[in-house]
Amino acid sequence: MSAEPDVVRERIEQLYRSDSRRVLATLIRLLGDFDLAEEAMQDAFTAAVARWPADGIPDHPRTWLVSAGRFKAIDRLRRRATFDATLAPMLRRVGESAEQPDVDDDQVEDDRLRLIFTCCHPALGMDAQVALTLREVCGLTTEEIAHAYLTPAPTLAQRIVRAKVKIRDANIPYQVPTRTALPSRLGAVLHVIYLVFNEGYSASSGSAVVRHDLSNEAITLGRLLVQLLPEPEAYGLLALMLLHDARRAARVSADGELVLLDDQDRSLWNRAQIAEGCTLAEKALTTGPVGPYGLQAAIAAVHCEAESANRTDWPQIVGLYDLLLRLEPTPIVELNRAVAVAMQEGPAKGLALIDAIVRRGQLGDYHHVHSARADLLRQLGRGSEAIEAYERALNLNTQEPERRFLSRRIAELRSA
Amino acid sequence: MRYLCLIYDNEQAWGKMPKEESDAVFGEYFTFTEGIKQSGQHLGGEALQPTPTATTVRVRNGKVTTTDGPFAETKEQLGGYYLIDARDLNDAIQVAAKIPSARYGSVEIRPIMEFTAM
């Protein structure tokens, strides 16, 4: 039952794109080792290229790939165990596992969740969680991750190796957390995804405003999580990312400059994506106890539904920030609330709230505090104080397009 | 799998604690220890005398030198340990989180290195 070689090759390439991460996740469970599973997954696809043109495409290609990968891994272990006796226990464990490993669809989807929770285990450093998630769950190469984070590839590779060593030696289990541990462990996963998104959305340094690939990877991860674990906060995070990302085209001008929300050309916003984000935000608010991501998504949804900055429902936004402040009483949430109050009740009101935060000795080194103050001072016609605040913001900001924006504001005020 | 839970807290705070409060903490330790003995996870554990009793020894070029005090001056000091048997790191974290000092100080979990016979 042979098949056309071109058809087979195309099918294998398509399977690699759609299923290689699933195959990997299951092989990690069966083999108990990340590197061995990675090699086994590659071996399985190589075997498919060699055998399927003659044998035909199997009825259950994924099951075929998993068992081929497992047998290849056992072969590899046998060969290595001849020279390295320390591998004997591993070989025993892998060889003893069921002859027909459990690869039904539910198990495989659980394997993907196990992989996510293991990569985002709080016992790993935050940088390592991010790198490992992009490598193992998203399938990015080490070079791609290094490039996205402007990190030398050897540094990044070492970070991933160390994380895998810790997973093995400290015995971080390959499992979905129990119901009681789930809220905090899910929080860690959402945090990793949001970090990836933000690095893409507002790169922490460098010359481009948006590093688009990372945002897309984060949205893909968010979609996967919602599909595997439909929790309110998972909906909330996906909604939040979609709504922010929907404004991407309007955030940067034709000459690469940053455009603030108030000044954005709203016709450039991606309406279909906003509609999807709003639906998901509603799910986040109605399917269970509302969390910080759900509230932030709701705030973003209110912004996205407004025809213009002036016609935004500011009282509703302030109300949502009040709720958010109760869940997350942080000065950053307070700052964002103050900016919304300024829009609702005038710049003097907002400025008083921001000054109160700074007087408490908080956020003094956070550039957004100074640019927000500067903007309100400018609106109040207090030009020299505004310049001073813009200059402080400029000194603290490392992102090039934002720095150019602040410099432009200073120049405008000086010539006024 | 075996893990060592190293208990760090501020030993000066212990000294300043009123008696009924420190008695209460000792009571919690007793209950915790009994609990992990019954569950079979307790493999060992001791409390240590405070760091002023510590001596650090080094041998360099065959010569033994001793210095007064612990190996490193830190804000929180090693005050005791448990050696536990846990299924995996998650299980060990659950046990460590119940050690009373985890609420005041910190508990460092270290997997034991197992040497398999060749």
Residue A3, pLDDT > 70, answer no
Tell me which of A309 and A35 has the higher pLDDT.
Answer: A35
With beta carbons under 8 A apart, name residues in chain B contacting A89: 116
Residues A129 and A236 in one domain: yes
Shortest CA gap B118–chain A (Å):
6
* DSSP states of A234-274: HHHHHHHHHHHHHTHHHHB-TTS-B--GGGS-GGGS-HHHH
Strand (E) or helix (H) holding A115: helix A105-119
Name the token pair of B93.
């974290």
The answer to whether residue A171 neighbours chain B at the CB level (below 8 Å) is yes
pLDDT tens digits for range A256-284:
778 888 889 999 999 999 999 999 999 99
pLDDT, mean of residues A215-223: 93
- Surface-to-core class of residue A317, CB atoms within 10 Å of its CB (0-12 exposed, 13-18 middle, 19+ buried): buried
A402 pLDDT above the threshold of 60: yes
Q: Which of A323, A348, A373 delimits the end of a domain?
A: A348
Largest CA distance in chain A: 82
For A169, the 3-state DSSP assignment is helix
Higher pLDDT, A104 or A297: A297
| pLDDT (tens digit per residue) in A148-192 | 888 899 999 999 999 999 999 999 999 999 888 888 899 999 999
Contacts of B88 in chain A (CB under 8 A): 171-173
pLDDT in tens, A339-393: 999 999 999 999 999 999 999 988 888 999 999 999 999 999 999 999 999 999 9
Q: How far, in Å, CA of A30 to CA of A72, rounded?
A: 13
Residue A353 lies in a domain: no
Q: Which of A319, A348, A377 is the last residue in one of the domains? A: A348
**Structural domain contains residue A241:** yes
pLDDT at residue number A206:
53
Query: Across the interface, which of A86, A123, A171 has its CB nearest the CB of B1?
Result: A171
Tell me whether A180 touches chain B (CB under 8 Å): no
Both A260 and A292 in one domain: the answer is yes
Contact A244, A216 (CB under 8 A): no
- A239 lies in some domain: yes
Residues on chain B bordering chain A, Cβ-to-Cβ distance under 8 angstroms: 1, 87-91, 93, 109, 111, 113, 116, 118
Residue A90 shares a structural domain with residue A146 = no
Cβ-based burial of A131 (10 A; exposed 0-12, middle 13-18, buried ≥19): buried
Same domain for A133 and A53: no
B12-71, pLDDT tens digit by residue? 888 888 999 989 999 999 999 999 999 999 999 999 999 999 999 999 999 999 999 898
Whether residue A227 sits in one domain with residue A136? yes
Distance of residue A332 Cα from the nearest chain B Cα, in angstroms: 27
CB burial of residue B34 (10 Å; 0-12, 13-18, 19+): exposed
Q: Which residues of A touch B93 (CB under 8 A)?
A: 123
Shortest distance between the Cα of B113 and any Cα of chain A, in A, equals 8
pLDDT band at residue A208 using 50, 70 and 90 as cut-offs: low
Partners of residue A210 on adjacent β-strands: none
Indicate if A126 and A189 belong to the same structural domain.
yes
pLDDT at A112 over 80: yes
Tell which wins on pLDDT, A201 or A245: A245
CB distance A177–B90 less than 8 Å? Answer: yes
Q: Tally C-beta pairs within 8 A across A and B.
A: 27
Chain A's closest residue to B117, CA to CA, is A86
Give the distance from residue A219's alpha carbon to the nearest chain B alpha carbon, in angstroms.
28
Of residues A86, A98, A79, A90, the one with CA closest to residue A31: A90
Q: How confident is the model at residue A212 (pLDDT cuts 50, 70, 90)?
A: low
Amino acid at the residue B3: Y
Domain residues for B24? Answer: 2-111
Q: Which residues of A30-67 are buried (b: 16+ CB within 10 A; e: fewer)?
A: bbebbebbbbbbebbbebbeeebbeeebeeebbbbbbb
Average pLDDT, rounded, for chain A: 90
Structure tokens at B23: 């008695």
Q: Is the pLDDT of residue A65 over 90?
A: yes
pLDDT at A406: 92
Across A104-125, average pLDDT: 90
Count of domains for chain A: 2
Residues A125 and A262 in one domain: yes
Q: Kindly report the CATH number assigned to the domain that includes residue B47.
A: 3.30.70.1060
Q: Return d(Cα A284, Cα A297) in angstroms, integer.
A: 8
φ and ψ of B104, to 5 deg: -105, -40
Examine the domain organization and report whether A76 and A122 are in the same domain. no
Binned at pLDDT 50, 70 and 90, residue A333 comes out as very high
Q: Does some domain include residue A255?
A: yes
Question: Which residues of chain B make contact with A86, given a CB cutoff of 8 A?
Answer: 116, 118
Alpha-carbon Rg for chain B, nearest whole angstrom, is 16
State both tokens at A177.
């957390």
Do residues B5 and B95 lie in contact, with contact meaning Cβ atoms separated by under 8 Å? yes
* Residue A285, C-beta contacts closer than 8 angstroms, at least 6 positions apart: A232, A294, A298
Residue B116 covered by a domain: no
Residue A76 lies in a domain: yes
Q: Are A91 and A128 in the same domain?
A: no
- Is residue A60 in a domain? yes
**Sheet of strand B42-47: strand arrangement:** B42-47, B77-85, B2-9, B106-111
Please name the residue of chain A whose CA is at the shortest distance from the CA of residue B3: A170
* Residues whose CB is less than 8 angstroms from the CB of residue A41 and which lie 6 or more positions away in sequence, other chains included: A20, A23, A24, A27, A65, A69
Structurally, chain B folds into a number of domains equal to 1
The rounded distance, in Å, linking the Cα atoms of A185 and A183 is 6
Residue B118, in any domain of the structure:
no
Of the residues A75, A102, A129, which one is the last residue of a structural domain?
A102
The whole-angstrom distance between B89's CA and the closest CA on chain A is: 5
Domain assignment present for residue B72? The answer is: yes
Domain annotation covers residue B104: yes
- Whether B67 maps to a domain, the answer reads yes
DSSP A282-311: HHHHHSSS--HHHHHHHHHHHHHH-SSSTT
Q: What angle do CA A201, A206, A210 make, to 5 degrees?
A: 20
pTM summary value = 0.85
Residue A142: other Cβ atoms inside 10 A: 18
From the list A85, A170, A177, which residue is nearest B89 (CB)?
A: A170
Residue A323, domain extent: 109-348
- Tell me the nearest-neighbour CA distance from A173 into chain B, angstroms: 6
**Residues A81 and A151 both lie in one domain:** no
Asked which of A60-69, A77-86, A127-136, A321-330 is least confident by mean pLDDT, the reply is A77-86
In this structure, the answer to whether residues A199 and A60 fall within a common structural domain is: no
CA pair distance A353, A362, nearest whole angstrom: 12
Answer yes or no: are the C-beta atoms of A148 and A130 closer than 8 Å.
Answer: no
Q: Is residue A363 part of a domain?
A: no
DSSP A31-97: HS-HHHHHHHHHHHHHHHHHHHHHH---SSHHHHHHHHHHHHHHHHHHHHHHH-GGGHHHHHHHHHS
On chain B, the residues whose CB falls within 8 A of the CB of A169 are: 111, 113
> Which residues on chain B are in Cβ contact (under 8 Å) with A123?
89, 93
Q: Is the pLDDT of residue A205 over 90?
A: no
- B106: which chain A residues are within 8 Å (Cβ-Cβ)? none
Domain co-membership, A276 together with A335: yes
